[in-house]
Amino acid sequence: MNENIEKLKSHYEQLNSRERTMVIAAAIALAVFIPYQFIWSPIVNGVVERRTKVEKQEQDLVWMQSKLSEVQQLSRSASSSNTTGKSLYGLVEKTARQKFGGDIRIQQEGKKGIRVQIKNAGFDAVMFWLDDLQMKYKINIKDFKIDRSKTPGNVRASVLVES
Protein backbone atom coordinates (compact mmCIF):
# COMPACT_ATOMS: atom_id res chain seq x y z
CA MET A 1 0.00 0.00 0.00
CA ASN A 2 2.81 2.40 0.90
CA GLU A 3 4.38 1.48 -2.37
CA ASN A 4 1.31 2.67 -4.29
CA ILE A 5 1.21 5.91 -2.32
CA GLU A 6 4.89 6.49 -3.06
CA LYS A 7 4.25 5.93 -6.77
CA LEU A 8 1.39 8.45 -6.70
CA LYS A 9 3.53 11.00 -4.84
CA SER A 10 6.39 10.65 -7.30
CA HIS A 11 3.98 10.92 -10.23
CA TYR A 12 2.38 14.00 -8.63
CA GLU A 13 5.77 15.67 -8.08
CA GLN A 14 6.62 15.18 -11.75
CA LEU A 15 3.59 17.23 -12.80
CA ASN A 16 3.97 20.92 -13.56
CA SER A 17 2.19 23.44 -11.31
CA ARG A 18 -0.80 23.87 -13.62
CA GLU A 19 -1.41 20.09 -13.70
CA ARG A 20 -1.00 19.90 -9.91
CA THR A 21 -3.66 22.60 -9.52
CA MET A 22 -6.02 20.66 -11.78
CA VAL A 23 -5.43 17.42 -9.82
CA ILE A 24 -6.08 19.21 -6.52
CA ALA A 25 -9.26 20.83 -7.93
CA ALA A 26 -10.46 17.44 -9.20
CA ALA A 27 -9.76 15.83 -5.81
CA ILE A 28 -11.69 18.58 -4.03
CA ALA A 29 -14.57 18.25 -6.50
CA LEU A 30 -14.67 14.48 -5.92
CA ALA A 31 -14.47 14.98 -2.15
CA VAL A 32 -17.55 17.22 -2.39
CA PHE A 33 -19.43 15.32 -5.11
CA ILE A 34 -19.25 11.77 -3.70
CA PRO A 35 -20.73 12.55 -0.24
CA TYR A 36 -23.32 14.80 -1.84
CA GLN A 37 -24.36 12.23 -4.44
CA PHE A 38 -24.41 9.17 -2.21
CA ILE A 39 -25.33 10.58 1.22
CA TRP A 40 -26.91 14.04 1.17
CA SER A 41 -28.99 13.80 -2.02
CA PRO A 42 -30.76 10.51 -1.12
CA ILE A 43 -31.63 11.87 2.32
CA VAL A 44 -33.06 15.11 0.91
CA ASN A 45 -34.98 13.25 -1.83
CA GLY A 46 -36.39 10.84 0.76
CA VAL A 47 -37.56 13.72 2.92
CA VAL A 48 -39.20 15.41 -0.07
CA GLU A 49 -40.93 12.17 -1.12
CA ARG A 50 -42.18 11.55 2.42
CA ARG A 51 -43.43 15.13 2.70
CA THR A 52 -45.30 14.79 -0.62
CA LYS A 53 -46.81 11.48 0.51
CA VAL A 54 -47.92 12.98 3.83
CA GLU A 55 -49.50 15.97 2.05
CA LYS A 56 -51.40 13.62 -0.27
CA GLN A 57 -52.61 11.55 2.68
CA GLU A 58 -53.68 14.72 4.51
CA GLN A 59 -55.69 15.77 1.45
CA ASP A 60 -57.30 12.32 1.36
CA LEU A 61 -58.13 12.60 5.06
CA VAL A 62 -59.73 16.03 4.60
CA TRP A 63 -61.79 14.67 1.67
CA MET A 64 -62.88 11.61 3.67
CA GLN A 65 -63.84 13.77 6.65
CA SER A 66 -65.88 16.02 4.33
CA LYS A 67 -67.76 12.94 3.08
CA LEU A 68 -68.31 11.46 6.56
CA SER A 69 -71.64 13.19 7.17
CA GLU A 70 -72.88 12.13 3.72
CA VAL A 71 -71.93 8.50 4.43
CA GLN A 72 -73.61 8.61 7.83
CA GLN A 73 -76.75 10.10 6.31
CA LEU A 74 -76.84 7.45 3.57
CA SER A 75 -76.28 4.73 6.14
CA ARG A 76 -79.15 6.02 8.28
CA SER A 77 -81.45 6.32 5.28
CA ALA A 78 -80.53 2.82 4.08
CA SER A 79 -81.21 1.26 7.46
CA SER A 80 -84.43 3.23 7.88
CA SER A 81 -85.61 2.40 4.37
CA ASN A 82 -85.57 -1.28 5.26
CA THR A 83 -87.63 -0.62 8.37
CA THR A 84 -90.27 1.66 6.87
CA GLY A 85 -92.95 -1.01 7.19
CA LYS A 86 -92.41 -2.50 3.75
CA SER A 87 -92.37 -6.23 3.81
CA LEU A 88 -89.38 -8.03 2.46
CA TYR A 89 -91.55 -9.62 -0.21
CA GLY A 90 -92.93 -6.26 -1.32
CA LEU A 91 -89.52 -4.64 -1.42
CA VAL A 92 -87.89 -7.45 -3.37
CA GLU A 93 -90.81 -7.65 -5.79
CA LYS A 94 -90.86 -3.89 -6.37
CA THR A 95 -87.13 -3.60 -7.01
CA ALA A 96 -87.03 -6.71 -9.21
CA ARG A 97 -89.97 -5.57 -11.35
CA GLN A 98 -88.44 -2.11 -11.73
CA LYS A 99 -85.18 -3.66 -12.85
CA PHE A 100 -86.35 -6.62 -14.95
CA GLY A 101 -90.01 -6.04 -15.78
CA GLY A 102 -92.08 -9.17 -16.37
CA ASP A 103 -89.14 -11.56 -16.82
CA ILE A 104 -89.27 -12.66 -13.18
CA ARG A 105 -91.08 -15.07 -10.90
CA ILE A 106 -91.20 -14.47 -7.15
CA GLN A 107 -92.31 -16.92 -4.49
CA GLN A 108 -92.12 -17.22 -0.72
CA GLU A 109 -89.72 -19.93 0.42
CA GLY A 110 -89.95 -20.91 4.06
CA LYS A 111 -90.77 -18.36 6.73
CA LYS A 112 -88.06 -15.84 5.93
CA GLY A 113 -86.91 -16.53 2.39
CA ILE A 114 -88.02 -15.25 -0.98
CA ARG A 115 -86.90 -16.91 -4.20
CA VAL A 116 -86.61 -14.68 -7.26
CA GLN A 117 -86.17 -16.32 -10.65
CA ILE A 118 -85.02 -14.05 -13.44
CA LYS A 119 -85.65 -15.48 -16.89
CA ASN A 120 -83.59 -13.29 -19.21
CA ALA A 121 -81.66 -10.23 -18.04
CA GLY A 122 -78.28 -8.60 -18.53
CA PHE A 123 -75.57 -9.93 -16.26
CA ASP A 124 -74.60 -6.42 -15.14
CA ALA A 125 -78.21 -5.56 -14.32
CA VAL A 126 -78.53 -8.65 -12.12
CA MET A 127 -75.29 -7.87 -10.30
CA PHE A 128 -76.26 -4.22 -9.72
CA TRP A 129 -79.67 -5.30 -8.42
CA LEU A 130 -78.05 -7.74 -5.98
CA ASP A 131 -75.65 -5.04 -4.85
CA ASP A 132 -78.56 -2.67 -4.22
CA LEU A 133 -80.36 -5.33 -2.18
CA GLN A 134 -77.31 -5.82 -0.01
CA MET A 135 -76.06 -2.27 0.33
CA LYS A 136 -79.22 -0.15 0.29
CA TYR A 137 -81.71 -2.47 1.91
CA LYS A 138 -79.40 -4.71 3.99
CA ILE A 139 -81.00 -7.84 2.53
CA ASN A 140 -78.94 -11.03 2.72
CA ILE A 141 -78.45 -13.22 -0.32
CA LYS A 142 -78.58 -16.83 0.86
CA ASP A 143 -78.42 -18.70 -2.43
CA PHE A 144 -77.49 -17.57 -5.90
CA LYS A 145 -77.40 -19.56 -9.12
CA ILE A 146 -76.77 -18.14 -12.55
CA ASP A 147 -76.70 -19.65 -16.06
CA ARG A 148 -76.02 -18.23 -19.49
CA SER A 149 -78.99 -17.31 -21.58
CA LYS A 150 -79.27 -17.80 -25.33
CA THR A 151 -78.78 -14.06 -25.82
CA PRO A 152 -75.12 -13.06 -25.43
CA GLY A 153 -74.56 -11.04 -22.26
CA ASN A 154 -77.84 -12.15 -20.72
CA VAL A 155 -78.37 -14.70 -17.95
CA ARG A 156 -80.98 -16.72 -16.12
CA ALA A 157 -80.69 -16.38 -12.35
CA SER A 158 -82.25 -17.83 -9.24
CA VAL A 159 -81.76 -15.86 -6.03
CA LEU A 160 -82.85 -16.67 -2.48
CA VAL A 161 -82.92 -13.62 -0.19
CA GLU A 162 -83.63 -13.10 3.50
CA SER A 163 -83.73 -9.97 5.62
pLDDT tens profile 98-137: 999 888 999 998 888 999 999 999 999 999 999 999 988 8
pLDDT tens profile 62-80: 999 998 888 888 777 655 5
Number of CB atoms found within 10 A of residue 154's CB: 17
Strands 104-109 and 140-148: unpaired
- Edge-to-edge strands, sheet with 113-122: 104-109, 113-122, 154-162, 140-148
Residue 118 pairs in a beta bridge with 104, 157
The whole model's pTM is what? 0.48
**Closest to 161 measured CA to CA, from 114, 125, 100:** 114
- 133: exposed, middle or buried (C-beta count within 10 Å: 0-12, 13-18, 19+)? buried
